[in-house]
Amino acid sequence: MKCSACRDLLSAYAEGTLSHGAAAHVQAHLDGCIGCRTFAEEMMVVEHRLARMSELEPRADFTHLVMAAVARMPAPAPRRSRMMWLGVYDLLAWAVAIMLTATGVLRWKTLAADGGLLLGKFAVSADGLYRVADHFHLTTFALAGGLVEGAVLLLFLYAGRHYLARVQSAIFGAQTT
């Protein structure tokens, strides 16, 4: 028997599916050929490892363990993060306003020029506030800005109390504030 023929039959030989005569030929060749005997042993090792790998399955309670680990993770600190986002939104609003002014998208002078037409609407118009502020220069602008700022803060606080808390509890589970 040639080495190539022997090695072709090795799998069937190992599984015991060869005829008695063919198995005897393979056995005789392996007894006399160290090369094929080494090859056969290496093949057995590989097949044994492959068989063991197929036994690697997640344990039955794998999903339960993962979910339990998730549940043990610390919950996010709600109040602090909400206050942080309040500040971020506020800073962003001012940054956008400053940027629009700097790039000339918002033209306070032009707004002030036709601001007189809107004098009657100042009580309800937010950008009317800005027009007044510009008309009476920086001191008044700062005052109006402060008023708008206060209004925005109050709005965010109201939203945070009455709306965000509900959204948060809907997402993170029942958590009283």
Amino acid identity of 44?
A: M
The rounded distance, in Å, linking the Cα atoms of 177 and 166 is 10
x/- map, 25-54, Zn ion, by CB under 5 A: --------x--x------------------
The rounded distance, in Å, linking the Cα atoms of 77 and 165 is 12
CB of 13 to Zn ion, least distance (A): 13
Torsion, Cα of 164, 165, 167, 169 (10° steps): 160
CB of 24 to Zn ion, least distance (A): 15
Using the rule CB under 5 A, which residue among 3, 88, 92, 142 binds Zn ion? 3
Q: Which is nearer to Zn ion, 6 or 129 (CB)?
A: 6
> Residues of 129-148 as b/e, b for ≥16 C-beta within 10 angstroms?
bbbbbbbeeeeebeebbeeb
95 binds Zn ion (CB under 5 A): no
Q: Which is nearer to Zn ion, 36 or 144 (CB)?
A: 36
Nearest-CB residue for Zn ion = 33
Cα–chain center distance at 54? 32
CB of 49 to Zn ion, least distance (A): 24
Angle at 140 between CA 117 and CA 144, to 5 degrees: 80
Q: Which is nearer to Zn ion, 7 or 82 (CB)?
A: 7
Q: Which is nearer to Zn ion, 33 or 106 (CB)?
A: 33
Which alpha helices (DSSP H) does 54-115 contain, by range? Answer: 62-72, 78-102, 108-113
Residue pair 47/125 in contact (Cβ under 8 Å)? The answer is no
Q: Which is nearer to Zn ion, 3 or 24 (CB)?
A: 3
x/- map, 114-153, Zn ion, by CB under 5 A: ----------------------------------------
CB of 17 to Zn ion, least distance (A): 20
- Interface positions with Zn ion (CB under 5 A): 3, 33, 36
